[in-house]
Amino acid sequence: MKRDEFARASDPESLVQHVRENAPVLRQSEHAHGEAMETVREDTYRGYHIVVRTSYHIEVDGVTVEGHLGVTNDGQVHYHAVPNLSFASAVDLVKQLIDTFPEDFQPKSSGHEHGEES
């Protein structure tokens, strides 16, 4: 890949567009609907093997967010639908999902509101 091709392919807007185009495939999940997303982090420290299992069950307006979420050993959260981005928190990640896939987060017509936007 040439440098200018790499620069275009790694541009954040290009990545967002690629994700949007491939969203139907990315939405097909291997886990059961409503199942918590679990991530496992492992490390060795002074001869001790450390395993940290973290489970996430994320909802937006009562609807479960599905997919594959991971956490690195330094605490950065990432989501397979946006593989080249990482976030300081799962909440920040969900905010980005709402911005990237707004059609997946259309408000329900129940009239119930969940506070103000940030």
Assigned domain for 117 exists: no
Range of the domain at 94: 3-105
- Per-residue burial over 52-71, b if 16 or more Cβ lie within 10 Å, else e, is eeeebebeeeeeebbbbbbb
How many domains, the chain?
Answer: 1
pLDDT digits (tens, 9 = 90+) for 59-95: 999 889 888 888 888 889 988 888 788 999 999 999 9
**Whole-model pTM over 0.95:** no
Given a contact cutoff of 8 angstroms between Cβ atoms, the answer to whether 85 and 65 are in contact is: no
Q: Is residue 113 part of a domain?
A: no
Whether 112 is covered by a domain: the verdict is: no
In a domain, 34, yes or no: yes
Indicate whether 63 belongs to any domain.
yes
Q: Is the residue at 114 inside a domain?
A: no
> pLDDT tens digit string along 1-46?
677 776 777 777 777 776 777 665 555 444 445 678 888 899 999 9
Q: Could you tell me if residue 116 is inside a domain?
A: no
